[in-house]
Structure 1
Amino acid sequence: MGTPLVIAKQSTDTTKEIVLYSQLANRHGLIAGATGTGKTVTLKVLAENFSRIGVPVFLADAKGDVSSIAKAGSSNAKFEERLKMLNIDSIPFAASSVTFWDLFGEQGHPIRTTVSEIGPLLLARILNLNDTQEGVLSAVFRVADDQGLLLIDFKDLKAMISYVSENAASLKNEYGNLSPASLGAIQRNLLALADQGGEKFFGEPSLDILDFLQTDSNGHGYINLLAADKLMNTPKLYATFLLWMLSELFEKLPEVGDLDKPKLVFFFDEAHLLFDNASPALQQKIEQVVRLIRSKGVGIYFVTQNPLDLPESVLGQLGNRVQHALRAFTPKDQKAVKTAADTFRANPNFNVAEVITQLAVGEALISCLDEQGTPQIVERGWVMPPYSSFTPLTPEERQALMQQSIVAGVYENEVDRDSAYEMLQRKVSESEQQKQADAQAAQQAKEQEALAKQQAKEQERLAREQQKQADKAQKDREKLTQDLVGTFAKSAARSLGGKTGQTLVRGILGSLFGKR
């Protein structure tokens, strides 16, 4: 059997306790109410109770005041008055074991994930992309997967988008039309997110979600506290980040069925941000995770001002409810009051819709599941006081606790391993080197061709010169022959016409011979 957790005492009879059964805590819950009505104290009381029975907790500190859960409380006159009203003799003040986390690494251990792990659907929501741009982003992820390019951090994604943009024509046949306008819009939104510090969320070492499921030496579950005061300036990043963590828990945790207590309780503060402007596809996935993660032993508690902030399909899955005061100044407020009242199992002793607007600070309408899993009749009750302080930690106190943390030094040093950016840089470098080598080869071929032409011309010139010399030599020989014949003839004529009295006589055949 599970453990009954005392979370409040009935307003009409403070001897009667209102309990939440631990074995049904994974049936999810809702903490709602206007600002200043006591939601933060309720959040702390639930977190402390879960921690004390060995259940780790994750919650976001949107205003910075929940950090007080890491400091033991102390008494004062007002506190003693509340104890007296609740018929409580004393409170065993104690600090909870807390692990501080911060997306920006300033007020807690850094939380990172890789671009590939978060995927195109959630990233498109962070970047506020339309359907067409989301489709192009999905194609960019597909190209990266097909080419073995790991997307880890912001520069990987930017390099990948530039690569796809430059090669859109060659990729079109396989991946469809990759519009330059959509790629440009994605790049601009990435720059805007980087200016808001969102790029710090992407990188390594990435968070091991199982680090949230730790217990201390006393067997108490660690309360994982996310510093969200700065993160709330980028609400889509905040909501998408928490949704990513839920999806990681869903993927990594095994099916466990019904347990005596949850493996983890996850408080989703400012829950309306999760559903604001969510596409139908994303909202369907959120509803699916909420519905199925219960079987993984995880309980989700949505914290919001107005029950109308949640879709009915989600609201219907929340079995444990704490409703603080609502104001009914406008028709919308009145509708919210009616919606909140209608979600409770009615109590015949009072009108729920009227009481919601009359609740004092720290008072709430509470309905939890009974031991058979049936919603109990709603009761009006005073939330129990917390064991911890109401004073937030100082920066020095926070740093001291961080240095003693079980994950101290694990996530602080960022790692930049070989990924898409480096691979694409090498591709560009290799392409440039190949271009240079091709240019050099072409230049060498051109020079060799020019040299060959020059050599051919030189050989042709030499051949012509040799032919000219040969022709001249031939002419010289012919002339010399002619000169010799002429000289011989002249000599013969002189000999025949000299004082010897020789005469020139030709024979019958015309042969010339001498005659005395």
Structure 2
Amino acid sequence: MSQEEKFISHLAEGQVYKKDYIIMGTGILNGEAVSGAQIKVPLKTMNRHGLIAGATGTGKTKTLQVIAEQLSLKGVPSVLMDLKGDLSGLAQPGEASDFILKRSQKIGVDYEPMGLPVELMSISKEKGVKLKATVSEFGPILISQILDLNDTQGGVISLVFRYCDTHHLPLVDLKDLKRVLQFIVNEGKAAITKEFGSVSSASVNTIMRKIIELEQQGAERFFGEKSFDVEDFVRTKNGKGVISVIRLTDIQSTPKLFSTFMLSILSEIYETFPEQGDADQPKLCLFIDEAHLVFSTASKDLLEKIEAIIKLIRSKGVGVYFCTQTPTDVPDSVLGQLGLKVQHALRAFTAKDRKAITKTAENYPDSPFYDTSKVLTSMGIGEALITALNEKGIPTPLAHTLVRAPISRMDILTNSEIDDLVNKSSLTSKYNEDIDRESAFELLEKKMNQIEKEQEKAVLPGPSSRSKTASRTKEDESLIEELSKNTMVRQLGRTIFRELTRGILGSFTRKR
């Protein structure tokens, strides 16, 4: 048996596929592509998550593009978080150059250029379907973790949510959350203390500062209505899975917003999707480019939340794929959950780089045909070390792979093509209308204005004053208990508070 035959036989161990699969490329031995050594990944295990890693310029994004294309052709929708802005080309066919045709021939696949069904989305100023969520939908625990609050501060957030639930105050955006926080330590202090106990002003001030930090990263565009329904990610068109490309090029410098958004999507999918069990193909796959931005800024609690969701979400038929430079960018607790690993070349310019490469090599199965550490630094563009899970959940042999070329455009769309795609979208009209309904901010402002008027009338003598005072509810009396001791002091104190707060937290007045 020749070395090539041994190589093909080695790669074929456990590679008996009864179900459908995608072809990633063909194996490379001694620097040459080996025909008959196709590297396949079964759809059945694509919900076991994955990693696409490698140095800048080695082909990570194109590999991500290939996987999304092949999933779409199999009817599996996907969500791509595009931080570099180079994935919109999925909507247009690629170019059948001589180089790509020869590459496809070596791999043993036909090259048929085509565009895939693409939906452009955004959480910022980028063009596309606007993705939003309300503060209430996040819930107190997730909001506390995103803001990196301690137990005491998290307790205040839980109190806020509880108070708003019982008093029918919708928490839609961050403005609502800030207004309720101001309320519980100022106008409503007496009522809150009576119902829940005293709340520390210092804790509220700390929470306020952290909310402002999140707002400065653009979060006010994300929190609001109309809330995005994650079921709209799971769509097909003409038998092909729709690829939702979330354009995030303008939030690279705001990693907290990115991690907030990513975790909210994962949480919503986990809470919404039914249990799917061990299906023949995934229901949805999510690809997170520049994944180090998620983990480098996440708190310990947030990392634990991500780890828990990654462990559990696969039972919903959802696969999560992280795209980053080195596997060490991903915490070990998450890395251990990843079934498919695609490792592009790494560069060793320093002693630290060489140590990182040695550590990276330890994440992959040993191979009798490769010295993994050497291969990691010698691979060309569009080559990768690949190991996946077979249909029985067993890791496949490590293969130095010539990765197939994308069938869609390997460049971005033009502005006119983007406009055309957005205008034709059925989701644009559904989600791109700004809704500013009456929520906690307006309701509290209206209530306090009403109380002020009643206070002003209360100081005037006469039977009408007595009757209005008698008609007040116990709740209103508790709200104004401290403020009603002296009208002049109350008005002066309220004015000073508003002016101080405007200087520190911004205007109370809604911008229209």
Partner of 1:469: none
> How many angstroms does 1:276 deviate by?
2.5
Bigger CA drift: 377-386 or 5-14? 5-14
Q: 1:445 to 1:426 in 2, by over 3 A?
A: closer
Once residues 196 and 315 of structure 1 are traced to their aligned partners in structure 2, the CA distance between those partners, rounded to angstroms, is 28
SS in 2 for 1:155: helix
2:295 matches 1:289: no
The equivalent of 1:42 in structure 2 is 63
Match of 2:365 in 1: 345
Please tell me whether residue 362 in structure 1 is matched to residue 382 in structure 2: yes
| CA shift for structure 1 position 126 | 4.2
1:67 is aligned, of 75, 88, 113, to: 88
Answer yes or no: is the 8 Å Cα contact 2:91–2:116 preserved in 1.
yes
Map of 1:239 onto structure 2: 259
Match of 1:119 among 135, 139, 150: 139
How many angstroms apart in 1 are the aligned matches of 2:405 and 2:144? Answer: 42
Tell me, in whole angstroms, the C-alpha distance in 1 between the residues paired with 2:460 and 2:256: 53
Distance in 1 (alpha carbons) for counterparts of 2:91 and 2:393: 33
Does the alignment pair 1:10 with 2:27? Answer: yes
Separation (CA, whole Å) in 2 of partners of 1:83 and 1:111: 37
* Corresponding residue for residue 26 of structure 1: 47
| Cα deviation, residue 149, structure 1 | 1.4
The share of aligned pairs that are identical, in percent, is 42
Unaligned 5+ residue runs, structure 1? 447-516
Q: Deviations over 1:443-496 (max 9, x none)?
A: 9889xxxxxxxxxxxxxxxxxxxxxxxxxxxxxxxxxxxxxxxxxxxxxxxxxx
Q: Report the 3-state secondary structure (helix = DSSP H, G, I; strand = E; otherwise coil) of the residue aligned with 1:388.
A: coil
The normalised TM-score by structure 1 is 0.81
The equivalent residue for 1:186 is: 207
- Secondary structure of the residue aligned to 2:46 is helix
Residues 307 and 339 of structure 1 are in contact (CA less than 8 Å); yes or no, is this contact kept in structure 2? no
Name the counterpart of 2:174. Answer: 154
1:58 aligns with 2:79: yes
- Does the CA-based 8 Å contact 1:325-1:364 persist in structure 2? yes
Q: State the alpha-carbon separation in 2 of the partners of residues 84 and 49 from structure 1.
A: 17
- Give the CA deviation at 1:80: 4.4
Moved more, 32-41 or 342-351: 342-351
CA contact (8 A) 1:10 1:380 kept: yes
Cα separation, 2, equivalents of 1:76 and 1:441:
91
Contact 1:31 1:302 in 2 (8 A): yes
Paired with 1:191 and 1:345, the residues of 2 have a C-alpha distance of 46
What does 1:437-456 align with in structure 2 at a 5 Å threshold? 437-441=457-461
Q: Is the partner of 1:16 in helix, strand or coil?
A: strand
How far off is 1:196 after superposition?
A: 3.4
Distance 1:330 1:120 in 2: 45
CA distance in 2, matches of 1:21, 1:203: 39
TM-superposed CA distance for 1:311, in Å, is: 1.8
Displacement of 1:358: 1.5
Residues 150 and 315 (structure 1 numbering): CA distance in 2 closer, same or farther, change over 3 Å? same
Bigger-Rg structure (1/2): 1
String of CA shifts for 1:306-330, please: whole Å, max 9, x gaps. 1112222211111111011122334
Q: What secondary structure does 1:106 align onto?
A: coil
Q: Is the 8 A contact 1:72 1:388 kept in 2?
A: yes
Q: 2:115 aligns with which of 91, 95, 99?
A: 95
2:404 corresponds to which letter in structure 1?
M
Q: After superposition, what is the alpha-carbon deviation per residue over 1:214-273, rounded to whole angstroms, capped at 9, x for unaligned?
A: 000x21000000001112221111112111111111111111101111000011222223
CA contact (8 A) 1:99 1:224 kept: yes
Letter in 2 for 1:325: A
Structure 2 gaps of 5+ residues are 1-17, 467-512
Instruction: Indicate the RMSD between aligned Cα atoms, in angstroms.
Output: 2.2
CA change 1:444–1:210 in 2 (3 A) is closer
TM-superposed CA distance for 1:16, in Å, is 1.6
**CA positional deviation for 1:192:** 3.7
| Deviations 1:321-380, CA, capped at 9 Å, x for gaps | 101112233454334323322222211111112211211111100001112210011000
Q: Deviations over 1:168-196 (max 9, x none)?
A: 45524654553222322332333343343
Distance 1:238 1:116 in 2: 19
State the distance in 1 between where 2:420 and 2:461 align. Answer: 65
| Whole-angstrom CA distance in 1 between matches of 2:182 and 2:465 | 35
- 1:503 alignment counterpart: none
Tell me the distance in 1 between the aligned counterparts of 2:357 and 2:342.
14
Q: Which SS does the other structure have where 2:426 is aligned?
A: coil
Alpha-carbon distance in 1 for matches of 2:141, 2:293: 16
TM-score (norm 2): 0.82
Structure 1 residue 142, shift from structure 2 partner: 2.7
User: Corresponding residue for 2:485?
Assistant: none
Structure 1 residue 51 displacement after superposition: 0.6
Q: Compute the displacement of 1:200 (Å).
A: 0.9
Provide closer, same or farther for how the CA distance between residues 306 and 439 of structure 1 changes in structure 2, counting only shifts above 3 A: same
Residue number among 113, 125, 129 corresponding to 1:109 in the alignment:
129
Change over 3 Å in CA distance of 1:134–1:327 after alignment to 2: farther
Give the match for residue 231 of structure 2: 210
Query: Any conservation in 1 of the 2:91–2:115 contact (CA below 8 Å)?
Result: yes
Q: 1:372–1:120: structure 2 CA closer, same or farther, 3 Å change rule?
A: same
Conserved 8 A contact 1:53-1:220: yes
Distance 1:185 1:419 in 2: 24
Structure 1 residues 298, 386: CA separation in 2 closer, same or farther (over 3 Å shift)?
A: same
Asked if 1:196 corresponds to 2:229, the answer is no
Distance 1:272 1:255 in 2: 29
1-side partners of 2:171 and 2:76: how far apart?
34
Task: Sort the Cα spacing of 1:44 and 1:445 in 2 relative to 1 into closer, same or farther, 3 A.
Answer: closer
